[in-house]
Amino acid sequence: MGIAAALLDDGLPAGRRGWLGRIDARAKVLGLLFILVIATLVTTLVPLALCVGAAWALALFGGIDIRRVALALLAVPAFTLALAVPASFNVVTEGAPLVVLCHLGGGHWGPWRVPEFLTVTDRGLFVASRFALRSAACVSLASVLAAATRPQDLFKGLRGLGVPAAFVMVAAMMTRYLDLLVRCAEEIHLAKLSRSLGGVSVRREQAWAAASMGELYRRSRTLADSVAEAMVSRGYTGEVHTLRQGRWSWRDGAFVAGCLAFGAGLLALG
Amino acid sequence: MHIPDGYLGPQTYVTAFGVMAPVWAWASHKVRTTLRLRQVPLMALGAAFTFVVMMFNVPVPGGTTGHAVGAVLVAILLGPWAAVVAVSVALAVQALLFGDGGITAFGANCLNMAVIMPFTGWWTYRLIAGRSPAASKRRWVAAALGGYVGLNAAALSAAFMFGIQPALAHDAAGRALYCPFGLHIALPAMAIEHLLLFGVVEAVVTGLVVAYLSKSEPSLLECALAPSPAPGGRPLWKKLALGVAALVLLTPLGLMIPAKLGAGDAWGEWGGDRLTELAGYLPAGFGKVAALWHAPMPDYAPRGAEEAALPVLSGWYILSGALGVLAVAGLVWIARRWLSGKETDGIAS
Amino acid sequence: MDKVFDFRGVSFAYPGREPSLRDATFDVGEGERLAVLGANGSGKSTLLHLMDGLYFAQSGEVRAFGQRLTPEAVERPPFGPLFRKRAGFLFQNSDAQLFCPSVEEELAFGPLQMGWKEEEILRRVGDTLGLLGIAHLRDRPPHGLSSGEKKKVALASLLILSPVVLLLDEPTAGLDPRSQGMLLELLDDLHGRGGLTLVTATHDLELLPHIADRVLVLGEDHRIAADLPTERALGDTDLLLSVNLIHAHRHRHGAMVHSHPHQHTRTHDHAHGEGKDHLH
């Protein structure tokens, strides 16, 4: 829970986030998502590796918090790696054996056919590296976008790119209250910790977790009702109006152009 | 269950966005007309609540913990259409700000967790709960089963999305471009994990939270936002049957459309006649049925399915889907009978 | 003096509950400073919600600026938007009131609903923040602000619309003494300079002399128990005892135990039989 609170609450103003932080959110969303989509289209290893490299270069030289990109790059591919490694085996991807791992004995296991040997195959190795590299590319690009843009600017940017105002307002309001609910849940959690020294049965612990969630729901509903009143009191009648976006600077344009050119280059590489 | 970027090919994720677009439009229309001025804060807090529910680690017997998705819970508390919006927003924020779940896979994740899960779960809940009072035991048992069914339906759909990747998108050499695991691995792996672990967590969370609220604040369960239960229950049965039938029938369509549109060509140079390759990625068990016990299989792909034409293949899909649906429907029916029997006993004595 | 609010026999109950306000009749003149005083659950907050057109009278009639408040009236132009602009409601829970992702958007929310011009809005945002001395918060998200800052931003989001009346629900609750003092000073200023009408719901007797010239006392039966000037209300011990705002205070002087009404907030002297007068 601490992670969510920390990510939402670093409080740095946009101007203090390096040059990448100063790029208009619309330009960042447009440019980085374009490369992200390209990363799901290319089929060879080189452009995927270039994507990872570009994300790291942006993270290192864009003046953004490198820890967030590093965290994303380490945590998610660890999960992907756990999936990619078995993908290189002959039970998943058939091909010429490169390394024989162990003797399985063949035959059938339930409805599945078991091969004679468990091997790493040439095709499997390629499939696994491409899969892992593609995941890494996507995750690092997404985390650069998140680290370089404050949540409130990100939603504004989405609005500027044509996402419906009502949806953007719900998402923005959700992030605004997420912090409150997380702290609320933590309070309930601490209250529980202080009461339950020593072992508690699984049943009790489940019942406790459910009670906290129920309590959290009750508070969310009360808060939602008050927020609705506060909105109506200031003239809300069901139509969401938001401030217009600032103008694009040549920097924003150049960033998008750079992203488009890079993406097109990747596509040309295959 | 959150599918990351890079696991699904564009054929799948673009299709998922295509399915979600009208669903989102209809859901926001429903929410706007029923909630009017309260829609924005209620959806925002609903989404925040869903997010926090996903962060709770709930212990299960055996020493492990898991977290719930909470989509069925939100559907029970706010109504299924509101759940579509709230869970979608929660997933969007997770994908954009926390890197949890992919951005390109956002449509697919919403289809699984913000549509299939709340609706199957909510239907199950309504069917079992019937018109029982908010404080009755039947309500929370219904909620627990709803959570279990909803999560497993979502997991099944996710597994299906993973499983068709190798056949749907591979390079000229036939190597998988995205998720490399075929249906024969993805389906059982996801099924075991969710039937035995995460489904239990979801059931526990959904059931216990509903039980807690029914004791402490039953008015929150009688929420006016959820469409009122259909009188007599038959229209609901019909709705459920229609929905499920549509899903079962749509499944083979999902396989055929990419082939017919030639979407596969750009990514794998394979035509409609090579669609039978899919069979290689089916659990061999399907093939066994297909070959009517002509086993044993000579190769990785079951013999019967290997030669099967598209219509035959589709037929088996429908059959296996229908069998699964029948099994779940049977379970729900038994639970309903058992609970309503118990309840009348309680009143009589 | 024009009437800002006019209540005639107003009752209100939440669905399925006991009435939280019974048969309230009173009016509020322009530029008045009124306090609604009552114990928790006496219906103060309900009264403010009725004044702000968030709840509607179930019997009787509420008029604001001469117009009867109904669900339709507060939504339909021209009265609806005008009413929302003229009446500002400061909620007790600042978190509920600050629902936008940044302070700037928070202030812009009201004007945007009114359809003001964007340049005008941005100028007014700057002016209003400057007036409250919180210009440095403009770009901040509301959840990292202190409770005093939150209260100020919430107030700024109302003041940007140049309201005629402010409805304040327990405005100083949860604020540290310094922020409390600054808030009271600010409200006093606004009243003095702009002739703003202030209606404050509170159970805090100490606050009364600072924010109100007239007090509406709500009893625990959810009826108006008294309507009188602040000084007289604070002096009427029997009245305050009867609506549970003060309690009988029992204490010991040497060997002698006695009890007397106690306000906590004002010093009062009293005499014991043995001539040991003292001050609390």
- Do B204 and A210 lie within an 8 Å CB cutoff? yes
- Strand partners of residue A68: none
Do strands C19-29 and A97-103 pair parallel, antiparallel, or not at all (unpaired)? unpaired
Which of A129, A133, A131, A126 shows the shortest CA–CA distance to A96? A126
Residues C35/C200, Cβ–Cβ less than 8 Å: yes
Does residue B179 carry a pLDDT above 60? yes
Comparing A51-55, B27-31, B123-127, C265-269, the range with the smallest average pLDDT is: C265-269
A137 shares a domain with A266: yes
Token pair 């967590």: residue: B201
Closest residue to A169, CB basis, from B40, B216, B285: B40
- Do A176 and C88 lie within an 8 Å CB cutoff? no
Residue A121 lies in a domain: yes
The per-residue pLDDT for B43 is 92
Residues C149/C137, Cβ–Cβ less than 8 Å: yes
Closest residue to B49, CB basis, from A40, A217, A237: A217
Residues B58/A209, Cβ–Cβ less than 8 Å: yes
Which residues does C100 contact at the CB level (< 8 Å), separation at least 6?
Answer: A172, A173, A176, C106, C108, C109, C142
A49 shares a domain with A20: yes
- Do B51 and A178 lie within an 8 Å CB cutoff? yes
Q: Looking at chain C, which subunits does it touch, using at least 3 CB pairs closer than 8 Å as the criterion?
A: A, B
The per-residue pLDDT for B291 is 34
Looking at domain B10-339, its CATH class is: mainly alpha
Comparing A16-25, B93-102, C246-255, the range with the smallest average pLDDT is: C246-255
Q: Give the whole-number percent of chain B exceeding pLDDT 70.
A: 63
In angstroms, the separation between the Cα of residue A68 and the nearest Cα of chain C is 20
In angstroms, the separation between the Cα of residue C78 and the nearest Cα of chain A is 12
A16 shares a domain with A122: yes
Closest residue to C118, CB basis, from A179, A232, A244: A244
Task: Work out the average pLDDT over B3-7.
Answer: 91
- Do A234 and C143 lie within an 8 Å CB cutoff? no
C53 vs B contacts (CB less than 8 Å) = none
C16 vs B contacts (CB less than 8 Å) = 219
Residue A23 lies in a domain: yes
Comparing A174-183, B269-278, C27-36, the range with the smallest average pLDDT is: B269-278
The per-residue pLDDT for A96 is 84
Which residue of chain A has the CA closest to B36? A238
C49 vs A contacts (CB less than 8 Å) = 229
> Chain A contact for C162, CB < 8 A?
no
Q: Give the whole-number percent of chain A exceeding pLDDT 70.
A: 88
Cα A130 to the center of its chain, rounded Å = 20
The per-residue pLDDT for C29 is 92
> Chain A contact for C139, CB < 8 A?
yes
**Candidates A140, A145, A183, A220, partner chain B, best to mutate (most B CBs within 10 A):** A220
B205 vs A contacts (CB less than 8 Å) = 209-210, 213
Residue A156 lies in a domain: no
Task: Please state the ipTM of this predicted complex.
Answer: 0.90
| A149 CB neighbour count, 10 Å cutoff | 26
B40 vs A contacts (CB less than 8 Å) = 166, 169-170, 173, 228, 231, 240
A205 shares a domain with A172: yes
A12 vs C contacts (CB less than 8 Å) = none
Q: Looking at chain B, which subunits does it touch, using at least 3 CB pairs closer than 8 Å as the criterion?
A: A, C
For residue A39, what are the domain limits?
Answer: 1-105+113-150+244-270
Burial (CB < 10 A; 0-12, 13-18, 19+), residue B109, is buried
Which of B145, B154, B135 shows the shortest CA–CA distance to B333? B145
In angstroms, the separation between the Cα of residue C46 and the nearest Cα of chain A is 12
Task: Work out the average pLDDT over B223-243.
Answer: 52
**Candidates C72, C105, C109, partner chain A, best to mutate (most A CBs within 10 A):** C109
The per-residue pLDDT for A196 is 59
A185 shares a domain with A118: no
The per-residue pLDDT for B235 is 56
For CA atoms A195, B51, B192, B145, the dihedral sign is positive
Strands of chain A, DSSP E: 97-103, 108-109, 112-113, 117-121
The per-residue pLDDT for B253 is 52
- Do A92 and B180 lie within an 8 Å CB cutoff? yes
Which residue of chain A has the CA closest to B86? A170
A58 shares a domain with A178: no
In angstroms, the separation between the Cα of residue B283 and the nearest Cα of chain A is 7
- Do A233 and C84 lie within an 8 Å CB cutoff? yes
pLDDT band at B348 (very low <50, low <70, confident <90, very high): very low
Residues of A at the C interface, defined by Cβ within 8 angstroms: 8-9, 11, 13-14, 150-152, 155-156, 172-173, 175-177, 179-180, 223, 226-227, 229-237, 239, 241-244
- Do B45 and A221 lie within an 8 Å CB cutoff? yes
Residues C122/C161, Cβ–Cβ less than 8 Å: no
CA A170 to CA B106: how far, in whole Å? 17
Q: Which residues of chain A have pLDDT under 50?
A: 1-9
Residues C51/C34, Cβ–Cβ less than 8 Å: no
The per-residue pLDDT for B342 is 52
Task: Work out the average pLDDT over C70-82.
Answer: 90
Token pair 């913000």: residue: B114
Task: Work out the average pLDDT over C219-227.
Answer: 89
- Do A227 and C96 lie within an 8 Å CB cutoff? yes
- Do A185 and B55 lie within an 8 Å CB cutoff? yes
- Strand partners of residue C34: C199, C214
Please give the residue that has the higher pLDDT: either C278 or B242.
B242
A60 shares a domain with A140: yes
How far are the Cα atoms of A91, A93, A120, B189, C197 from residue B184, in angstroms, in the given order? 11, 12, 19, 9, 73
Residues B38/A225, Cβ–Cβ less than 8 Å: yes
Comparing B92-101, B241-250, C71-80, C179-188, the range with the smallest average pLDDT is: B241-250
How far are the Cα atoms of B90, B148, B313, C264 from residue B320, in angstroms, in the given order? 33, 20, 11, 76
The predicted-structure confidence for B293-306, as pLDDT tens digits, reads as follows 222 323 323 333 43
Residues B254/B324, Cβ–Cβ less than 8 Å: no
A251 shares a domain with A182: no
Does residue C190 carry a pLDDT above 80? yes
CA B260 to CA B343: how far, in whole Å? 53
Taking one residue from A and the other from B, the number of pairs with CB-CB distance under 8 angstroms is 247
The per-residue pLDDT for B136 is 82
- Do A40 and B41 lie within an 8 Å CB cutoff? no
What value does the mean pLDDT of chain B take? 74
A199 shares a domain with A89: no
Residues C28/C198, Cβ–Cβ less than 8 Å: no
A144 shares a domain with A33: yes
Which of B189, B213, B201 shows the shortest CA–CA distance to B69? B201
Does residue C155 carry a pLDDT above 80? yes
> Chain A contact for C89, CB < 8 A?
yes
In angstroms, the separation between the Cα of residue B224 and the nearest Cα of chain C is 13
What value does the mean pLDDT of chain C take? 86
A139 vs B contacts (CB less than 8 Å) = 4-6, 99
> Chain A contact for C69, CB < 8 A?
no
CA B211 to CA B203: how far, in whole Å? 12
Which residues does A190 contact at the CB level (< 8 Å), separation at least 6?
Answer: none
In angstroms, the separation between the Cα of residue B319 and the nearest Cα of chain C is 51
Q: Give the whole-number percent of chain A exceeding pLDDT 90.
A: 29
CA B217 to CA C17: how far, in whole Å? 14
In angstroms, the separation between the Cα of residue B41 and the nearest Cα of chain C is 9
Which residues does B128 contact at the CB level (< 8 Å), separation at least 6?
Answer: B138, B141, B142, B145, B146, B332, B335, B336, B339
pLDDT band at B137 (very low <50, low <70, confident <90, very high): confident
Which of B91, B2, B4 shows the shortest CA–CA distance to A138? B4
The per-residue pLDDT for B329 is 66
Residues A115/A149, Cβ–Cβ less than 8 Å: no
The predicted-structure confidence for C117-145, as pLDDT tens digits, reads as follows 999 999 999 999 998 889 999 988 888 89
- Strand partners of residue B167: none
Which residues does A185 contact at the CB level (< 8 Å), separation at least 6?
Answer: A1, A212, A216, B52, B55, B56
How far are the Cα atoms of B11, B111, B174 from residue B18, in angstroms, in the given order? 11, 10, 27
The per-residue pLDDT for B60 is 75
Residues of C at the B interface, defined by Cβ within 8 angstroms: 16, 99
Which of C34, C87, C21 shows the shortest CA–CA distance to C202? C34
A10 shares a domain with A78: yes
Using the 8-state DSSP alphabet, how is residue A56 labeled?
H
Residue A157 lies in a domain: no
Does residue B57 carry a pLDDT above 90? no
The per-residue pLDDT for C49 is 94
Please give the residue that has the higher pLDDT: either C266 or A149.
A149
Which residue of chain C has the CA closest to B219? C16
Using the 8-state DSSP alphabet, how is residue C162 labeled?
-
- Do A226 and C96 lie within an 8 Å CB cutoff? yes
**Candidates A1, A28, A40, A116, partner chain B, best to mutate (most B CBs within 10 A):** A40
In angstroms, the separation between the Cα of residue A41 and the nearest Cα of chain B is 7
Tokens of B164: 């068709």
Does residue C198 carry a pLDDT above 90? yes
The per-residue pLDDT for A2 is 42
Please give the residue that has the higher pLDDT: either B348 or A264.
A264
Do strands C197-202 and C214-218 pair parallel, antiparallel, or not at all (unpaired)? unpaired
pTM of structure? 0.82
What's at A15, amino acid-wise?
A: G
Which of B306, B297, B291, B192 shows the shortest CA–CA distance to A113? B297
The per-residue pLDDT for A171 is 92
In angstroms, the separation between the Cα of residue C188 and the nearest Cα of chain A is 23
> Chain A contact for C75, CB < 8 A?
yes
Token pair 């390629």: residue: A126
Burial (CB < 10 A; 0-12, 13-18, 19+), residue C214, is middle
CA C12 to CA C234: how far, in whole Å? 28
Q: Total structural domains in chain A?
A: 2
Taking one residue from A and the other from C, the number of pairs with CB-CB distance under 8 angstroms is 99
Which residue of chain A has the CA closest to B184? A112
A16 shares a domain with A92: yes
Chain A, 121-180: which have a CB under 8 Å from a chain B CB?
Answer: 123, 126-128, 130-131, 134-135, 137-139, 142-143, 145-146, 151, 154, 164, 166-167, 169-171, 173-178, 180
- Do A217 and B220 lie within an 8 Å CB cutoff? yes
Residues B111/B181, Cβ–Cβ less than 8 Å: no
ω into residue C78 within 30 of 0, thus cis? yes
Task: Work out the average pLDDT over B8-18.
Answer: 93
Does residue B119 carry a pLDDT above 90? yes
Residues A143/C108, Cβ–Cβ less than 8 Å: no
